[in-house]
Amino acid sequence: MDTIIEYTDIDNMPITVEHSKQLFEFKKHYFVNHVIKIIEIYVDNRLDEIQYFKAEDENTNDIFLKLGTNSVTIITLKKYGRYMVKSVFNYINGINGSVKKNLLEDNKIICNLEFDTSGNIDVTFSAKYMYDANGFEIGEEIFSFHYNTDGTINYISGICYPFSEHNPFLEASEIQTYFPNLLLDNPYYFNLTFLPLI
């Protein structure tokens, strides 16, 4: 097995080993056969978190035996048509503290679902994102869609909404007024359903 180690700053910009020693936070990426396997996140030159990319044939307990259980994030990636489903399980002392699922298209998060410890979607931290050619990450989306607990749209925001400093959100009832074709042209965003039709 061919293993390559790369260092990046916290924003995933490549750095040298020497530069990493000068930073408060940095990441150490392990690639096995050119596929990301482990990311170690360092804070104040101490290992703070391990992110492990789990293959389908790997067992979670075997991962804990290899890495320990202190602060481990186990990530699975699964293709879904032209999309990638990324599931993130955060463990502290071997106990799963949170679960997050991302739907990615061209490496952009278009849906983020976070779940509470009972397995219910936590709509406070869940949203869908729509980008134009200039946007690549959350914060650069033209629209972000936020939902109610029943999965219906609560409000939208983003750089395409004519913000006012007093109300940066557009309520669901007003979408038709400002953007009459938005949901007709983009039905995936109509509700909080995770997987789009393919």
| Residue 63, both tokens | 């991962």
Beta pairing, strands 3-9 & 35-43: unpaired
List the chain pLDDT tens, one digit each, 198 residues: 789 999 999 988 999 999 998 999 999 999 999 999 999 999 998 999 999 999 999 999 899 998 887 889 999 999 999 999 999 999 988 888 889 999 999 889 999 999 987 888 999 999 999 988 777 777 778 899 999 999 999 999 887 766 556 567 889 999 998 889 999 999 999 999 999 987
Q: Which stretches does DSSP call E strand in the chain?
A: 3-9, 14-15, 25-32, 35-43, 46-53, 71-80, 83-92, 95-105, 108-115, 127-130, 143-147, 153-157, 170-171
Question: How far is 3 from 187, CA to CA, in rounded Å?
Answer: 43
